[in-house]
Amino acid sequence: MDRGERLGFWLPAGALGAMALGVALIPFRTLTSASNLAFVFLAYTIVVAELGGRLAALVTAVVAALSLNFFLTMPYLSLTIDKPEDLIAFVALTGCGLIAAKFGTRRARLSEASARVSTELGLLRRLAGQVRVGADLSEILADLRRAFGFQAMVLRDEGGRVLAVAPTEGAPVEGARVELDGDSFLPVGEDRPHFGTRGLRVPARGGRIRLATEHGLVSLDIWEGDPQGFDLDQWRTFAIALTILGLRLSGAHGRASA
């Protein structure tokens, strides 16, 4: 389950579950204080933070505090609070819920980063294996495109002849218009870099990266597929992938495979 699917499930589940807890605990409101019942909401908020992430946990924490107030503190079925101890329980639950949401965010980020690193290492291992067996350039380019979410990729030799393209249909006929630095991936010249929510974006007119091989320069044209851009780690992984691709091109003597 990716981040969007997880949020789509746990956001309503957290809110509705917090309200359901308030109703389920009504029989116990005369047996113990609201401060004791608040621990049930807190435990639920921690579970949502762990499984659903920050936003779902924040919503759960707020709804849990309101549910405690509405169903379990006097006067009942009202958002007013008469007893000081109930007010303390309400404030404490809200604060602890927000703290749980914050730690849930940290864990979610670490989990996503770990999963991404694992995916990127798997890509590099697979790419190295393809180079070792002399895999088709179009196959390698298709894997790179899927892994990094590019709209299209076109590999050309120094004379402009197409060596490989991904996807095989629908790729731009004209070459990319903006030269990119092979180390920083920043536009060369006057083009200003554009950034998304994650990091550096590919120029709207496409980006061209020069690759040095034993048999001369080749160019790789890329077009953006994700407007969020890439963070530094993703660009570094892409740079390693390009180095491995350069080894394949040297072994293939730059011949077309498509």
Interval 66-123: pLDDT, tens: 898 899 888 888 878 777 877 887 888 888 777 777 776 556 566 666 667 777 788 8
**pLDDT value for 52:** 81
> Distances in Å between the alpha carbon of 85 and those of 36, 90, 97, 197?
11, 9, 18, 44
- DSSP letter at 167? S
Task: Report which secondary-structure segment, H or E, holds 194.
Answer: none
Of the pLDDT bands very low, low, confident and very high (cuts 50, 70, 90), residue 232 is confident
> Distances in Å between the alpha carbon of 67 and those of 47, 50, 146, 245?
17, 21, 45, 57
- The residue among 184, 252, 188, 239 whose CA lies nearest residue 211 is 239
Mean pLDDT across the chain: 83
Taking residues 252-257, report their average pLDDT.
44
Rounded to the nearest 10 degrees, the angle between the axes of helix 34-52 and helix 3-24 is 170
Q: What is the CA radius of gyration of the chain?
A: 27
Q: Is the dihedral of CA 125, 128, 133, 134 positive or negative?
A: positive
- The residue among 184, 234, 189 whose CA lies nearest residue 209 is 184
Of the pLDDT bands very low, low, confident and very high (cuts 50, 70, 90), residue 200 is very high
Give the domain ranges of the chain.
Answer: 3-112, 136-252
Whether residue 152 is predicted with pLDDT greater than 90 in this model: the reply is yes
Whether residue 42 is predicted with pLDDT greater than 70 in this model: the reply is yes
DSSP helix/strand/coil, 173? coil
Domain 136-252 coded CATH 3.30.450:
yes
Task: Check: CB of residue 92 under 8 Å from CB of residue 85.
Answer: no
**pLDDT value for 180:** 93
